[in-house]
Amino acid sequence: MSDKITIQEPKGKLGILTPGMGAVSTTFMAGVLSIRKGLSDPIGSLTQMGTIRLGKRTENRNPLIKDFIPLAPLENVVLGGWDVFEDNAYEAAMHAKVLDKDLLNELKSELEQIKPMKAVFDKNYVKRLEGTHIKTGYANKMELAEALMDDMKKFKEENGCDRLVMVWCGSTEIYIEEGEVHSTLEKLEEGMKNNHPDIAPSMIYAYAAAKMGIPYANGAPNLSCDVDAIVELAKQTGAPIAGKDFKTGQTLMKTILAPGLKARSLGIDGWFSTNILGNRDGEVLDDPDNFKTKEVSKLGVLEQVLEPELHPKLYGNLYHKVRINYYPPRGDDKEGWDNIDIKGWLGYKMQIKVDFLCKDSILAAPLVLDLALFLDLASRAGMKGGIQEWLSFYLKSPQAAKGLKPQHDIFVQLMKLKNTLRYLAGEDLITNLGLDYYD
Amino acid sequence: MSDKITIQEPKGKLGILTPGMGAVSTTFMAGVLSIRKGLSDPIGSLTQMGTIRLGKRTENRNPLIKDFIPLAPLENVVLGGWDVFEDNAYEAAMHAKVLDKDLLNELKSELEQIKPMKAVFDKNYVKRLEGTHIKTGYANKMELAEALMDDMKKFKEENGCDRLVMVWCGSTEIYIEEGEVHSTLEKLEEGMKNNHPDIAPSMIYAYAAAKMGIPYANGAPNLSCDVDAIVELAKQTGAPIAGKDFKTGQTLMKTILAPGLKARSLGIDGWFSTNILGNRDGEVLDDPDNFKTKEVSKLGVLEQVLEPELHPKLYGNLYHKVRINYYPPRGDDKEGWDNIDIKGWLGYKMQIKVDFLCKDSILAAPLVLDLALFLDLASRAGMKGGIQEWLSFYLKSPQAAKGLKPQHDIFVQLMKLKNTLRYLAGEDLITNLGLDYYD
Amino acid sequence: MSDKITIQEPKGKLGILTPGMGAVSTTFMAGVLSIRKGLSDPIGSLTQMGTIRLGKRTENRNPLIKDFIPLAPLENVVLGGWDVFEDNAYEAAMHAKVLDKDLLNELKSELEQIKPMKAVFDKNYVKRLEGTHIKTGYANKMELAEALMDDMKKFKEENGCDRLVMVWCGSTEIYIEEGEVHSTLEKLEEGMKNNHPDIAPSMIYAYAAAKMGIPYANGAPNLSCDVDAIVELAKQTGAPIAGKDFKTGQTLMKTILAPGLKARSLGIDGWFSTNILGNRDGEVLDDPDNFKTKEVSKLGVLEQVLEPELHPKLYGNLYHKVRINYYPPRGDDKEGWDNIDIKGWLGYKMQIKVDFLCKDSILAAPLVLDLALFLDLASRAGMKGGIQEWLSFYLKSPQAAKGLKPQHDIFVQLMKLKNTLRYLAGEDLITNLGLDYYD
Amino acid sequence: MSDKITIQEPKGKLGILTPGMGAVSTTFMAGVLSIRKGLSDPIGSLTQMGTIRLGKRTENRNPLIKDFIPLAPLENVVLGGWDVFEDNAYEAAMHAKVLDKDLLNELKSELEQIKPMKAVFDKNYVKRLEGTHIKTGYANKMELAEALMDDMKKFKEENGCDRLVMVWCGSTEIYIEEGEVHSTLEKLEEGMKNNHPDIAPSMIYAYAAAKMGIPYANGAPNLSCDVDAIVELAKQTGAPIAGKDFKTGQTLMKTILAPGLKARSLGIDGWFSTNILGNRDGEVLDDPDNFKTKEVSKLGVLEQVLEPELHPKLYGNLYHKVRINYYPPRGDDKEGWDNIDIKGWLGYKMQIKVDFLCKDSILAAPLVLDLALFLDLASRAGMKGGIQEWLSFYLKSPQAAKGLKPQHDIFVQLMKLKNTLRYLAGEDLITNLGLDYYD
């Protein structure tokens, strides 16, 4: 049994701020309000509904996670955000058409009070959007970051928050590769002052959060907190950060199925994934530059799970293709269709088709909550050094220590998350500890 | 790091005997021969193709399992079996239409030499079969068991085997519940002498194997080694035994998907599973009494994985239905279609459909091999007391110690298996040890 | 060009009466009211939305059917029915959960006024239902028929109707075969007086309608108007009748796809159809006796379309299986999954899977309307002799003249329907006339 | 009953020549040989397996089409073609991996004798192919056409053919629009002499055939015989021509399903079609220019079938998207997945998914045969004026008289085909005659 870590109690209010107040964010916000009123259940949220087994099976100890480890209670959560449109959360949620009108109307007065702060926006990064509610008149990206820090200070004060956490819920930005400017904090800061073109808005948010020691996670696949410069900053300030791209829908299924097939040493010759979706996300991803960001994030998953270098006969020739199609009739009701060409004993071929009629924002919203609460926990527990690999569970592109491959197998991720919680609470571990490379 | 266990080297020949020489068994046999000749790869077999991670990720130690732990090599395996028809393995494989004729013809001479011994058969247990190559003239079930033991002694001697292992590959017998006659070894033996109707042929095989200290596993869902009397016998003789019903096809997918959905605290309202298949197995399962045996085995899986008692709002009202349809156009190419009605954030509903175009015997054959090799390992490692829970990974109805619920989550099962191997080899564990309740 | 037939104008009100006021009937009723108010469109109704091509393609004459032939306008329709429960149409519709509450509430006052008359009910025919609002105290089935006739006279008078039409929307009754008692009108009437057990409630309704010269169609698969005795009566009174079992969902798809595959001389080895549904219909069909009625109706379809006797190499060995599964999570949202094993050039095998996520009552409701309006047209056009084969288009088990096989190919049925309309209007035919065998 | 048309008997040999000897062509060729040897059945071929109903249903006259109308018998067919590679038909068929090796080996000697003539090829039209067996040294496209005519004369003479027919089985060329150069025969011939870039290789073949009065059809979607210039030429020489792009796979399903949904006045909001395939066709279509040709051909289908201008509320907002994905694991086993978003009564939404696991060449091969035999029939029956609209049945982009929209509904097409046959034989028509606009 490990020693119990000292965790500060989650006293006072926790402000959860989302850059982007579109479908995902408003579904999250309305959900928190609805749950708080007892109108709905927080299904899909491990922090609220999940249990954790402790000790031996025969002990029958399976408390709810939220009863086991000190998390900020929903009653103490305050919601806020930034957006490129000035719709308040009620208007934005009505526009997103994810939740029933009846439900939104019951929450109308609270939602209307959540008004977006003006966003940092750069049309080069999201060509299909025309932002109108944006910060203008700043000389450079560093000044924009400072404006965001001012926003946060003001929000904290006005809302009487004890702590803040930030989760990016904005659109997917165009693809950029990690470069020189992202390699050290010094270079990044210089780049921000010089308006270097490879510093995306989301990175300015990440910088602002990390600079203030505020935890940050990125729900989209663009380059943001996952560069050396931000990691360096996070280590300095103690801000927990946690990789990018909410693992929902098709990729969620992929990291469930692939470990299962691999467990049985079944080979895979091809994996074809196509999506249809009609929300704003689909519109943005219809632009090839933005799609590339998503594609890279989605494609990497299988490689790590299957380890073709260790299993060349099983996965050495895997042909993996991912397509996203903007298809307006569906709105937020994304549908993912996968065809998997597998092979078994003596090479005989079989096929698996998975049709997932999902709801994009419904799957993503509880991840905003969980990431926010767990990042806040990490902060209060004094977990060192930026990257929180134990939160890989939630992300298509988890972040790991330099030199380590991230883990994509959702069951390995789950074990990592739960054992980290057990470790924090001084309980016996069941398996590989997520703190392992970060002491 | 645990102490290293002493494992006897797998010297000499290992005889693998299958009661039942139909599609699964002959696909297994032809496969072993084909692999041995270098014509095919043992895909789907963890013992042959799987790797195991040792130590920390940074150590990059990932040997093949078969290079890590002493298993009987395929070159030393001798194949045999019993069947109710007198077709040799070549004829039976041609009839089963699972493998290509060209491949079977390349293996013809070896396969023709594998001639079934006469089977213990009782038409009451499998009404749709008309066995013609069966043991007759015995006064009671105990005498039949003794005849099987004689078969095995003779096989061992004639083939110069050092060790034997038995894996039931026969048809699914009708449903019977565990009763008084199965409760102690004494009562079972008395029942065998009195021809008690609740002692099925498969149980006579299990008895014969266990009596001789020969490891036994059951590939079908009928009651066989999973009764107290056989466990008692196995403990006495040191024969490893390992539950029942090869986990393939739809149930394999179920124990992959359900843990994934549960990991994310997604709710499930309904799970409808239907199958179409046209082989002998399908024909037998078209009889309601035999189907019931299968249904009970298939239905139990979700309940244990999801633990509705711990998560009533997520799984408390799950409606689970399983159907199997005999559909001759498909032959051995089973197809399983699942519809899963799930719910997420605030109760919003989503659906997953999985269509698995599989090949029943292709999925099952490597399990025969793995179970045989691992049971033989258990025997050589002196693993105590009958039940080998660490082999749950392969079975729809794993066997666990009295009072313990079996584990159905395939990822928990995989961890249990691999850590047991690590433990045997004196390596650091990564998680819950499969030996835990059996010392 | 044929001579124009004299058709009486649809003056005054048309009463549409449905035995059974469950999901289908109330969805029909609420729909008519909603459309009349301009709240919704009559999608799925050929009479309201369909066009008909006249003359040559170059003439570009494609009027709406309802503008082309004199049909009763929706404004003149009066709605009524019988049910075994006393819920009014509003309550029944709310209970059925097919239509949105918001819509039903907008129609509440009209729907509440539609109160069911007491039903003729016999629990032997629908074991899963407990009728409480039923006709009691009648000596025999003839008296029950007379009570129904009294109901209709009263309804007509109270509502100021000019004409009535009856469409059975009740549950599927148990399977019975056509027997001696159904063979002549005389025997049927004697049987009704003697309470012959093979005269189902639905047949009593059919008798009552036909006796009064009121058109009758049967939306369910049970034996009702499709017996010689009722045909004899309908010929006497001039009452149009039109077969049975609304063609919706899976069977609709089947009679679309099968003609398409046959058009191309593609062979079919197997067709497996399974359904999941959770409404009252599903519950009733969970009883094997009621399911058999449905199964017989569903199975006959392929045989006639494919004509295996003419194409033995293509369809001679077709294995056709239909399954219906009661699955409560779905309610009225039926789902049909079909697997079709086809073969092409040189016998090479291919597969088609169709997954139809449909809404049972949404598909059936417009058929109630179309059948009612077209039957009323048949009546006003003086179309002779009972059976209206031109309405086969709507039915899983169409009715045809003695000695003639009914046509199941939906495209042949559509042509038959449209040409019959053209004939009635004195337009050039495009193809085989539906009046052909009934002069 | 119409007057019987005089049709010349199909005496002597018929040469069927295919530009392109890849998967489709060699599957067709091997099939003809296999059928002729009695090894296989011509499944999928209406000319060989289909029947035709004559007279009233009560007459029970349903002869095979080939027994009813004088078609060239398979025994009299001679096979030949051109290709950009010099593989003979055996080698090309082995390479295509469509048919079993065993079958091809039984036909080896005949197939090896079918050696391709050198092809007219222009890499600009198919960038992904590297032709090596091509006609070089000709000054212009007119000379290439003449070289093709020489090839045909020589083939006819060497093989003792009475008649020839040509069916394009080559790759899809890049998209080009009909332009000035295609508008009259004179301009086309001038363009050929001047090497106009908008005259594709397939058009040179079409010109050569039509010039010699040889019937021509195009199995691919590129612009070829469907320009005014070629129609003009065909009318002059009496060469029957028949549109383009074999209707197989997904589009076949589309023209089956869409008429069925329209028959019932069900609305369609969206139709998403995706394909995965791994053969040479897939590789060529991975080039956007070639894909565009295919896309245009595939997209037009729904519009004509559904007539949104007549049914704006049902089909006015239909969002139709078609995707083709090169996916090597599949080879010729194309798979098409469709999602159809439909709406019914009162606008309620439903979904249909169709997964078609087809074999591209298996579906196309019998169309080569049928088109060849029917075009030859048209020639012998003296059917006037080039375009044979009655063969629309086989084509994604049927050709119709100037000013007429082509018909895409497969059931209308079938009727047109069959009634044309009835007309030729002097039988009563059942419906709209395919000769209507071409006298």
B131-141 confidence digits (pLDDT tens): 889 999 999 99
Question: Which residues of chain C are within 8 Å of residue D252 when distances are taken between CB atoms?
Answer: 260, 264
In this complex, do C337 and B270 lie within 8 Å of one another by their Cβ atoms?
no
Q: How many Cβ atoms are within 10 Å of A309's Cβ, its own excluded?
A: 10
pLDDT, average across residues B64-85: 97
- Indicate yes or no: CB of A415 within 8 angstroms of CB of B431: yes
C343-371 tens-digit pLDDT: 999 999 999 999 999 999 999 999 999 99
- The pLDDT value recorded for residue B2 is 47
Nearest to A319 among D270, D321, D327 (CB): D327
Chains sharing 3 or more CB pairs under 8 A with chain D: A, C
Lookup: tokens for A88? 């308040």
Residues 6+ apart with CB under 8 A from B50: A265, B64, B65
Chains that touch B (3 or more CB pairs under 8 A): A, C
Say how far apart CA B160 and CA C192 lie, in whole Å. Answer: 82
Rg (alpha carbons) of chain C, rounded to whole number: 21
- The interface predicted TM-score of the complex, written ipTM, equals 0.92
* Minimal C-alpha gap between A159 and chain D (Å): 44
DSSP annotation of C6: P
Query: Which member of C352, C414, C432 has the closest CB to residue D263?
Result: C414
pLDDT value at position A4?
A: 67
Q: Which pLDDT belongs to residue D436?
A: 35
Mean pLDDT along residues C187-216: 96
What does the mean pLDDT of chain A come to? 91
> What residues of A are in contact with residue D330 (Cβ under 8 Å)?
270, 341
**Looking at the partner chain, which of B259, B345, B415 has a beta carbon nearest the beta carbon of A366?**
B345
Rounded average pLDDT over D393-421: 89
**DSSP class per residue in A88-103:** -HHHHHHHHT-S-HHH
pTM of the model: 0.93
Give pLDDT, residue D298: 78
Q: Report the largest interatomic distance among the alpha carbons of chain C, rounded to a whole angstrom.
A: 67
pLDDT tens per residue, range D80-137? 999 999 999 999 999 999 999 999 999 999 999 999 999 999 888 888 788 889 999 9
- Check CB contact of A321 with chain D, cutoff 8 Å: yes
Tokens of B246: 């090869």
Q: What is the mean pLDDT of residues C42-62?
A: 91
Residue A431 has pLDDT above 70, yes or no: no
Among candidates C62, C263, C347 on the partner chain, residue whose Cβ is nearest the Cβ of D41: C347
Measured distance CA(D80)–CA(D236) in Å, rounded: 26
Query: Looking at CA atoms only, how far is residue B45 from chain C in angstroms?
Result: 29
Q: A332-336, C104-108, C335-339: which range is least confident on average?
A: A332-336
- Report the run of H or E that residue B242 belongs to, with start and end: strand B241-246
In this model, does residue C341 exceed pLDDT 60?
Answer: yes
pLDDT band at C4 (very low <50, low <70, confident <90, very high): low
What mean pLDDT do residues D317-345 have? 93
What pLDDT sits at residue D129? 81
Beta carbons of D339 and A339 less than 8 Å apart: no
Using pLDDT thresholds of 50, 70 and 90, give the confidence band for residue B431. Answer: low
What is the reported pLDDT for D143?
97
Highest mean pLDDT among A164-173, B422-431, D417-426: A164-173
Q: Give the pLDDT of residue D383.
A: 83
Amino acid at position B59, single letter:
E
The pLDDT confidence band at residue C405, using thresholds 50, 70 and 90, is confident
Any long-range contacts for C412-420 (C-beta under 8 Å, 24+ apart)?
C412/C259, C413/C255, C414/D263, C415/D415, C415/D431, C416/C389, C416/C390, C416/C392, C417/C46, C417/C390, C417/C391, C417/C392, C417/C393, C418/C52, C420/C390
Residue D437 has what pLDDT? 31
Mean pLDDT of all residues belonging to chain B:
91
Least confident of A56-65, B240-249, C89-98, D83-92: A56-65
Minimal Cβ distance to C327: which of B276, B321, B329: B321
Nearest to C272 among B321, B327, B353 (CB): B327
Interval D222-233 mean pLDDT:
94
- Inter-chain contact A337–D341, Cβ cutoff 8 Å? no
**Helix, strand, or coil here: B63?**
coil
Instruction: Tell me: pLDDT of A101 over 90.
Output: yes
Sort strands A161-168 and A13-19 into parallel, antiparallel or unpaired.
parallel
Confidence band of D269 (pLDDT split at 50, 70, 90): very high
Task: Tell me which of B345, B392, B436 to substitute to probe the interface with A (most A C-beta atoms closer than 10 Å).
Answer: B345
pLDDT at residue number B86: 95
The Cα–Cα gap between D63 and D67 comes to: 6
Best mutation target, D97, D250, D269, D272, to test chain A (most A CBs within 10 A): D272
The string of pLDDT tens digits covering residues D129-180 is 888 899 999 999 999 999 999 999 999 999 999 999 999 999 888 888 999 9
* pLDDT 10s digits, D32-79: 999 999 999 999 999 999 999 998 888 889 999 999 999 999 999 999
Min CA distance, A116 vs chain B (Å)? Answer: 23
A-interface mutation test, from D291, D327, D334, D338, most A Cβ less than 10 A away: D327
C296-332 residue pLDDT tens: 877 888 988 999 999 999 999 999 999 999 999 988 8
B328/C319 CB distance under 8 A: yes
Q: What is the mean pLDDT of residues B287-311?
A: 85
Q: Which of A293-302, C211-220, D219-228, D300-309 has the lowest mean pLDDT?
A: A293-302
The whole-number pLDDT of residue B437 equals 31
Tell how strand A349-357 and strand A216-218 pair up. Answer: unpaired
Domains annotated on chain D, with CATH: 13-246+361-424 (3.40.50.720), 249-357 (3.30.360.10)
Q: Chain C residues with CB inside 8 Å of B272's CB? A: 276, 325, 327
Nearest CA in chain B to A39: B346
- Say if the Cβ atoms of B43 and A359 lie within 8 Å: no
Q: Would the CB atoms of D40 and C346 count as touching at under 8 Å? A: yes
Greater confidence, D223 or A292? D223
Mean pLDDT of the region C37-48: 96
What are B27-59's pLDDT values in tens digits?
999 999 999 999 999 999 999 999 999 988 788
Range with lowest mean pLDDT among A16-30, C2-16, C154-168, D319-333: C2-16
**Contact check, Cβ <8 Å, C44/D363:** no
- Find the mean pLDDT for residues D18-23: 96
Q: How confident is the model at residue D4 (pLDDT cuts 50, 70, 90)?
A: low
Report pLDDT for C403: 80
The reply to whether C269 touches chain B by the CB within 8 Å rule is: yes
User: What is the edge-to-edge ordering of all strands in the sheet holding D241-246?
Assistant: D117-118, D77-83, D13-19, D161-168, D216-218, D241-246, D395-397
D135 alpha-carbon distance from chain centroid: 25
Question: What is the reported pLDDT for B272?
Answer: 96
Q: Is the pLDDT of residue D406 over 90?
A: no
- Do A145 and A82 contact (CB within 8 A), yes or no? no
- The pLDDT score that the predictor gives to residue C260 is 94
Q: What is the pLDDT of residue A423?
A: 86
Give yes or no for a contact between B406 and B389, defined as CB atoms under 8 angstroms apart. Answer: yes
Q: Residue B342 above 70 pLDDT?
A: yes
